[in-house]
């Protein structure tokens, strides 16, 4: 069973999941004791607040934010690269993953590194503005409109 969770302001709204529509439930009051896995992708502050509580209830949190990436008790996992690090998850019941660019990059670099040790990699990435959330999307929209109508661009 898949359950959609969000803050109280989103309770009752509906989200699509495959061919289904899920009604959003309140994260604050959800009982995770019968839940196996929580895919957390709500931002660092939300993850720092809720993930330890969820983990203590026995649910494994797989976190997509930057909140746990540098915590020595939380494994940073890319399954194709370091699946064996999964054994560390039980300290907090939290698993971190790197950002999207890093995850893809290390999957490509791992076999190369295994064959001939990589000493240095120079990478440039160009991230989608949607990664900044609604505020970033609104800013892009307003700046694009300003360019179109020759108004000043505001950051």
Domains of the chain: 5-98 (3.40.50.720), 102-149 (no CATH)
* pTM listed for this prediction: 0.78
| pLDDT digit string, tens, across residues 7-65 | 989 999 999 999 999 999 999 999 999 999 999 998 899 999 999 999 999 999 999 99
Q: Cβ(93)–Cβ(61) under 8 Å?
A: yes
Helices (H), the chain: 44-56, 79-82, 100-115, 133-148
Q: How confident is the model over 113-130, as a mean pLDDT?
A: 92
| pLDDT digit string, tens, across residues 141-151 | 999 999 999 99
Of 98, 120, 116, the residue nearest 107 (C-alpha): 98
């Amino acid at each position: 069973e898949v359950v959609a969770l969000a803050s109280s302001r989103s309770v009752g709204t509906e989200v699509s999941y495959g061919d289904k529509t899920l009604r959003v439930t309140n994260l604050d009051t959800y009982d995770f004791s019968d839940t196996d896995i929580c895919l957390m992708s709500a931002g660092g502050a939300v993850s720092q607040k809720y993930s330890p509580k969820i983990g203590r209830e026995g649910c494994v949190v797989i976190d997509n934010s930057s909140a746990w990436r540098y915590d020595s008790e939380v494994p940073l996992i890319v399954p194709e690269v370091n699946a064996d690090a999964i054994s560390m998850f039980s300290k907090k019941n939290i698993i971190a993953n790197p950002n999207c660019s890093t995850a893809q990059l290390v999957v490509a670099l791992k076999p190369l590194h295994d064959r001939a040790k990589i000493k240095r990699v120079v990478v440039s990435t160009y991230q989608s503005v949607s990664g900044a959330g609604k505020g970033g999307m609104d800013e892009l929209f307003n700046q694009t409109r300003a360019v179109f109508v020759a108004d000043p661009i505001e950051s």
